[in-house]
Structure 1
Amino acid sequence: MLFRGDFVSSKRLGDLQILHDHLVAVNEQGVITHSEPATSASSRHLLQSDEPKTEIPPGSFLIPTFCDLHLHAPQYLYQGTGLHLPLMEWLNQYAFKAEERIDGDPVLAQRVYERLAERLLESGTGAVVLFGTINENANIILAKAMLSRGLRAYVGKLSMDISSRPTYKEASAQDSLTNAMSFVNNCRALCSDLPETLRTVEPILTPRFVPTCSDKLLTGLGELARDKQLRVQSHLAEAHDQVQWVLQERGVEDIEVFERNGLLTSRTIQAHCTFLPPPSLHKLAHHGTSVAHCPLSNAYFSAEPFRLREALDIGVRVGLGTDIAGGYSIDIMQAMRQAVTVSRMREGQRVIRGDEGRALSIDWKEALFLATKGGAEAMGIQSGIGTFTVSSPFDAQLVRLITVGGTGVGSLDFFDSQTVGGKWVLTEELVEKWWCLGDERNREGIWIQGRKVWPER
């Protein structure tokens, strides 16, 4: 398959690359085999071949799909409601009840998860890290929903042997460990007969967070992660009431609990981390642990913003998360904008205080990197995702800015000519306009591993 047109990507933090009239060739395995200007000799040779061709029309461009590093799949059931309580109360009043309901109703689970997969694709998300529920069967339904729509997904069965809701926990640490390994094996079995390039769903160990996991359970999960080379996800230093609970119950901060149990690794993604001071951020960098930055839910449940600039400066891998339903929007474009907004507020406070040092704000290009290549690196998915380079999987979304008649699509309006010498030219300014104002109306197609997965054929 050949794709000819304009391509946009961010290979490095703060970098934006626009490739005009470019040609990308994708083989049957969904891997990019050619990426050069359409006017090069090798590109002209390919264009003369019988390879199927997709022409990206003027006023449109291809950009990598987004990565969502933190989403509670069962909480999609009540997305957009119940955001008025502190975290620990909110879990009891909303989260645990919804998750228990999903576990007890396979029909409801399938309805919720199939719709979730569709909404993710509509929003341009091609890769997602999912918190599930306790029940293995419900998590297999979740994994199948993601696999059937071609999404890249890490699916996590919750491990929790402690709970403020007595009906929503596992019987013991040993039961929880047995259940976790059972899910890992059965989730992997879903993809075992598929070609390697189509094995897009994987299990991930998921201790919910320290307040719901005994030391015995965390120790066992750390051993599983090490022995089976499994990925891990959890919540770390998210909210004031949660941080204080851990200090009172365990006598140390939760980052120390994770570290001593072998759960801070280069295969770990920790959500939030808003209460981590600089020394703890250095600890994440040392272990290679990634952070899922969820600015919207942090505004609701954290009394502190995440130290994003400081984390990036010391080499912590960071991606963005929606944190449904602690955040109400499933759209990573919103998360990008919110990340910039929060960082600019932090920079304003720095200036008012008269603090010296580097500016704390990030710009839209840096946020775009976090949503694409940076997020893919933080997830640890296939090398090259988030770029249009040779040997990389072709994960892309088609964005349209202007109709054939020259009218802006969706919320976009254009009052000046975007043509040069009679030809429409994609500029950095136009990409920024889409970044600020674009939505699902601008999205016309999604490809993952070279397969068109949205809209459904």
Structure 2
Amino acid sequence: MLFRGAFVHCPSLGVVEMLSDHLLGKAGFIVHFAPATTEHSENLIAHSSVRPVIIPSGNFIMPTFCDLHLHAPQYLYQGTGLHLPLMTWLNEYAFKAEERLDNDPALARTVYERLAQRLLESGTGAVLLFGTIKEATNLILAEVLQEKGLRGFVGKLSMDISSRPTYQEPSAHASLSAVHSFVESCQHMVSHLPEHERLIQPVITPRFVPTCSDELLLGLGEMAESRSLWVQSHLAEAHDQVEWVKRERGVDDIHVFERNHLLTSRTIQAHCTFLDPPSLSHLVSRGTAVAHCPLSNAYFSAKPFPLREALANNVKVGLGTDIAGGYSIDIMNAMRQAVTVSRMREGHRIVAMTETDGDGAPHEVNLSIDWKESLFLATRGGAVALELAGRFEVGAPFDAQQIAIFDPSCADGIGGIDFFGEIPSLDMDLLEKWWCLGDHRNRRCVWVQGKVVFEQR
């Protein structure tokens, strides 16, 4: 199949390429991508058995979003309980909801089917998920994602310590056995499919240090290493959690993960708000990525993530919604929140500098990011963390979404985007307007591995 029209992607941080009148050829993968007027493109069009799909004026195709941190069972109570501190919130809401789904397979399937649909409506094509502690419930989640065509990295929670006695695994040995069984079952679920159609992968998932014994963490690290598995957890997230780890383990949680072989090039750690510069450098040395969740950090962390410092240090960073610690499932909101928080950090830096030396000049690195950088984090940044492409290039999976900003037939914008007078051409100003004001109404179609998984009706 051939598509002809405008394409947008972010090949590197801060760079947005708008490629007008390009031709993209795809099956499950991209087999051609070049200006439509090149000789090769014209030959493809001439010899194709079907005419190219023309992307209408006012529309463009861009990569799907990657969500690097989401608690699937917590979608059950999305948008509630956010007045509480983290450790209390976990006891009052999170553990109860997860236990409820573990005890009700029918409810779990209903919640996960709705979650998958909402993610696709929001343009998310790949998602890294925390599940529950029960193997069967996580297999339901994996099955739903595969059926819906959503690229899913699924983590069965490991936790042999809990403040809720009814929601924990009986021992480190039992937890490790359950993880081994889940990994085997998850991989077997898709083993009959061609490799490129296997959309789900199991992920080693110690919830965080307060819920995992050293014995369990070491066993998980050895399993991840021996089987080249993905790892996800929470790192240096909230003040009460950080202090708990220091008090109980005697060191920061980054050192606990390190000594148990859980900081790898296939590890994604959520939050990391309390990491200092040497710790960020340590993540770089291990190839570990960060899932930046600005909304949930505002609720549950006493400080924001040092995003600019991490990017300047070449830390791999993508965005996460952190449902239900964050209330919005839409990565577009995570992009906007990332920019907002960074601008507040930069303002605080300038004010603090002015108050101390009377000079507000930017002697240090500007801590704010702009919309272009956030778009990179939402697409290419998250994709790199998951060893995906996140941009248009030959050989990459065709994971894409079609965005409609205006309708030239009626000379008006789409969704919440309005125009007064002549509608402008598709340019960077118009892209920024969509970034600020766009929502699900602008999303016409979503493809994952070349297949339509969502279409606006």
Letter of the aligned partner of 2:202 in structure 1? P
Measured after TM superposition, the shift of residue 456 of structure 1 is: 8.7
Q: Secondary structure at the match of 2:391?
A: coil
Residue 344 to residue 456, structure 1, CA distance change in 2 (3 Å) = closer
1:230-279 CA-partner distances (Å, limit 9, x unpaired): 11000000000000110111011100000000001111000000011111
Q: Which consecutive unaligned segments of at least 5 residues does structure 1 have? A: 420-424
Pairwise mapping of residues 24-423 of structure 1 onto structure 2 (< 5 A)? Answer: 24-27=24-27, 30-48=28-46, 49-51=48-50, 53-354=52-353, 356-380=363-387, 382=388, 385-403=389-407, 404-418=409-423
Q: Secondary structure at the match of 2:179?
A: helix
Q: Secondary structure at the match of 2:445?
A: strand
Residue 132 to residue 111, structure 1, CA distance change in 2 (3 Å) = same
State the alpha-carbon separation in 2 of the partners of residues 416 and 338 from structure 1. 31
Residue 52 to residue 227, structure 1, CA distance change in 2 (3 Å) = farther
Q: Does 1:10 align with 2:10?
A: yes
Letter of the aligned partner of 1:395 in structure 2? D
1:153-207 CA-partner distances (Å, limit 9, x unpaired): 1000000000000000000000000000100000011110011111110000000
Measured after TM superposition, the shift of residue 107 of structure 1 is: 0.3
State the alpha-carbon separation in 1 of the partners of residues 159 and 271 from structure 2. 19
Give the TM-score normalised by the residue count of structure 2: 0.96
Matching residue of 1:440: 440
8 Å contact kept, 2:444–2:456: no
Q: Secondary structure at the match of 1:168?
A: coil
Q: Secondary structure at the match of 1:107?
A: helix
1:276-333 CA-partner distances (Å, limit 9, x unpaired): 1111111111111000000000000000100000001111000000000000000000
Q: Which consecutive unaligned segments of at least 5 residues does structure 2 have? A: 354-361
Residue 314 to residue 162, structure 1, CA distance change in 2 (3 Å) = same
Q: Secondary structure at the match of 1:163?
A: coil
Identity %, equivalent residues: 64
State the alpha-carbon separation in 1 of the partners of residues 53 and 148 from structure 2. 22
State the alpha-carbon separation in 2 of the partners of residues 170 and 281 from structure 1. 32
1:380-412 CA-partner distances (Å, limit 9, x unpaired): 2x3xx2111111111110100112312110100
Measured after TM superposition, the shift of residue 54 of structure 1 is: 1.6
State the alpha-carbon separation in 1 of the partners of residues 105 and 270 from structure 2. 28
8 Å contact kept, 2:45–2:51: no
1:95-143 CA-partner distances (Å, limit 9, x unpaired): 0000000000000000000000000000000000000000000000000
Q: Secondary structure at the match of 2:225?
A: helix
State the alpha-carbon separation in 1 of the partners of residues 91 and 300 from structure 2. 14
Runs of 4+ in 1 over 6 A off after TM superposition: none
Letter of the aligned partner of 1:369 in structure 2? F
State the alpha-carbon separation in 1 of the partners of residues 53 and 90 from structure 2. 47
Measured after TM superposition, the shift of residue 356 of structure 1 is: 3.0
State the alpha-carbon separation in 2 of the partners of residues 128 and 211 from structure 1. 25
Measured after TM superposition, the shift of residue 455 of structure 1 is: 2.6
State the alpha-carbon separation in 2 of the partners of residues 359 and 271 from structure 1. 24
Q: Secondary structure at the match of 2:412?
A: coil
Measured after TM superposition, the shift of residue 85 of structure 1 is: 0.4
